[in-house]
């Protein structure tokens, strides 16, 4: 896998900030919190852009900020694709269309945990109109005619866009299309890309599964499915002139989620999470060797 490794500090996207438009409404969200309503145990209500769940029965008049009565369980539907939780999906019939105005140069747009037939990213400016547009089909490639006629259609759940023009005033329109079904998106990640160097072949990817599996005294297994997180380990060869920049990036973001693409040509070789550990070896003339271990977020 001799390809470029990209490190991205994702933009924080919020309504009234970078998120300037969305076609996702609140029809799938719980009703807004009502101080006069009697909430039962497990009932949900929205406040602002968050969803809260009642921790007790006969819950009347207690503000959602009261931790004895309420717990925040996630974001409202339109914000789940921007909440840094890959497993929580924004969903809408047919298509999801959002516009983001980041007010900075964007090098990578990545969508994770997607259910759709295609994703389109359009970049435009007020002065120049559309300056970049690309549509990527999520259909898995077909290797032969037998597979084409007899195997079920399968689709990718991750997609990566690069090659946008370096305009700091651009507007990005993202369309997740699943016409005839339900479009879903777990996370939109976008930000400036640090092109680190060349990735060595032998990238290791996998998951950490948090499901619970236990057996009783008779060997009967009880399985409770829970979330899982991606993980990835890889080695990248970084030019010495760029090595201090990568060191600063990894150090400054040591407790912050980042997006890492081991290869810009492989959307399945990406992880959004924490750089759990990294080591730099100063062993080659003109090149440093970084060994990076990524721990994904659920």
According to the model, what pLDDT value does residue 31 have? Answer: 96
- Domain identity same for 119 and 20: yes
User: Cα dist. 23→33, 99, 124, 192, 195 in Å?
Assistant: 23, 9, 19, 26, 33
Tell me the residue range of the domain where 117 lies: 13-24+82-190
Q: How many domains does the chain have?
A: 3
Lowest-confidence region among 147-151, 164-168, 293-297? 147-151
The verdict on residue 2 lying in a domain is no
- List residues bridging with 234 in a β-sheet: 292
pTM of the shown model: 0.89
Which residue, among 183, 142, 141, 138, has the nearest Cα to 156 in the 3D structure? 138
CATH code of the domain in which 182 resides: 2.60.120.260
- Domain identity same for 175 and 201: no
- Structure-token pair, residue 232: 């990835």
- Domain identity same for 69 and 52: yes
CATH code of the domain in which 272 resides: 2.40.30
Measured CA to CA, the distance from residue 18 to residue 11 in angstroms comes to 9
Query: Averaged over 2-9, what is the pLDDT?
Result: 83
- Domain identity same for 240 and 127: no
Query: Averaged over 156-179, what is the pLDDT?
Result: 96
The residues, ordered by sequence, that sit 6+ positions from 91 with a Cβ below 8 Å of its Cβ are: 28, 77, 115, 182, 183, 184, 185
According to the model, what pLDDT value does residue 126 have? Answer: 96
- Domain identity same for 272 and 288: yes
The verdict on residue 126 lying in a domain is yes
H/E run at residue 96 = strand 90-100
The verdict on residue 1 lying in a domain is no
- Domain identity same for 185 and 207: no
Question: For 187-228, how does the pLDDT look when each residue is reduced to its tens digit (9 = 90+)?
Answer: 999 999 999 999 998 899 998 888 888 887 888 888 888 888
The verdict on residue 244 lying in a domain is yes
């Amino acid at each position: 896998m001799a390809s470029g490794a990209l490190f991205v500090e994702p933009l924080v996207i919020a309504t009234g900030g970078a998120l300037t438009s969305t076609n996702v409404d609140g029809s799938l969200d719980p009703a807004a919190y009502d101080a006069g309503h009697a909430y039962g145990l497990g009932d949900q209500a929205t406040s602002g852009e968050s969803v809260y769940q009642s921790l007790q029965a006969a819950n009347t008049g207690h503000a959602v900020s009261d931790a004895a009565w309420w717990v925040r369980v996630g974001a409202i539907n339109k914000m789940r694709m921007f909440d840094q939780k890959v497993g929580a999906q924004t969903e809408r019939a047919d298509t999801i269309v959002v516009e983001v105005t980041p007010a900075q140069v964007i090098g990578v747009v990545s969508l994770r945990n997607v259910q759709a037939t295609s994703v389109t990213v359009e970049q435009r400016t007020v002065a120049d109109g559309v300056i970049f547009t690309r549509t990527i089909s999520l259909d898995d490639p077909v290797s032969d005619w037998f597979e084409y006629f007899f195997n079920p259609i399968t689709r990718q759940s991750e997609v990566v866009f690069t090659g946008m023009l370096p305009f700091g005033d651009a507007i990005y329109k993202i369309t997740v299309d699943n016409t005839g079904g339900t479009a879903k998106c777990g996370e939109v990640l976008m930000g400036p890309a640090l092109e680190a160097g060349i990735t060595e072949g032998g990238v290791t990817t996998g998951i950490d599964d948090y499901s619970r599996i236990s057996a009783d005294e008779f060997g009967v297994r009880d399985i409770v499915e829970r979330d899982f997180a991606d993980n990835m380990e890889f080695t990248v060869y970084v030019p010495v002139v760029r090595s201090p920049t990568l060191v600063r990036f990894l150090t400054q973001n040591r407790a912050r989620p980042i997006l890492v693409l081991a290869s810009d040509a492989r959307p399945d070789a990406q992880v959004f999470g924490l750089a759990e550990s990294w080591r730099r070896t100063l062993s080659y003339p003109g090149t440093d060797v970084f060994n990076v271990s990524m721990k994904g977020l659920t």
